[in-house]
């Protein structure tokens, strides 16, 4: 009997555009100000949160916690490019229940619009075999979760 585990990976890209009825500097603060970011980035949904934010090129963001369903989520990002009030690029890894679930690169672009700010988020990731499985379901779940986070920014800005 073989003990070989078949490894899989699924690459996925998604783009989300979101308009906010707030000026660019306020939307920027949702990412750049650690206290504002804490309000929308899921810290309140987790028990035993561990959060750290070093918003600068080369800096890291950490957001770990256990959710109501018992899943332990670990998010660790490194900022690779920051253009104030215009662009943020970061890479990040996710672990679910201690299993490496994905690695992604994310670009956030902010532009003034007639109604406030247009945010365009592009994420390119590889979803690995793990607790919640690889494949289209994992990628679709990530997009859904990211959309919810962006809705959280709207609530903070309101």
User: Of residues 130 and 97, which shows the higher confidence score?
Assistant: 97
Closest listed residue to residue 89, CA positions, set 21, 31, 43, 133: 31
Summarised one tens digit per residue, pLDDT across range 45-91 is 778 778 899 999 999 999 988 988 888 889 999 999 999 999 999 99
The answer, yes or no, to whether residue 6 has pLDDT greater than 80, is no
- Locate 155 and state its tokens: 């609530």
Task: Specify the pTM.
Answer: 0.89
Question: Above pLDDT 90, what percent of the chain?
Answer: 62
Q: Please state the length of the chain.
A: 158
The answer, yes or no, to whether residue 127 has pLDDT greater than 80, is yes
- Quick one: 11 exposed, middle or buried, by C-beta within 10 A (0-12, 13-18, 19+)? exposed
């Amino acid at each position: 009997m073989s003990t070989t585990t078949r490894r899989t990976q699924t690459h996925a890209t998604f783009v989300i555009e979101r308009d906010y009825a707030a000026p660019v500097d306020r939307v920027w603060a949702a990412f750049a100000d650690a206290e504002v970011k804490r309000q929308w980035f899921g810290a309140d949904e987790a028990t035993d949160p561990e959060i750290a934010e070093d918003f600068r090129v080369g800096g890291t963001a950490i957001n770990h916690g256990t959710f109501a369903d018992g899943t332990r989520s670990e998010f660790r990002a490194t900022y690779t490019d920051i253009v104030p009030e215009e662009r943020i690029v970061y890479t990040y890894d996710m672990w679910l229940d201690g299993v490496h679930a994905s690695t992604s690169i994310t670009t956030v672009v902010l532009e003034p619009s007639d109604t406030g700010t247009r945010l365009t988020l592009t994420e390119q990731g590889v979803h690995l075999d793990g607790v919640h499985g690889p494949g289209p379901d994992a990628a679709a779940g990530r997009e859904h979760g990211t959309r919810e986070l962006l809705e959280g920014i709207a609530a903070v800005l309101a």
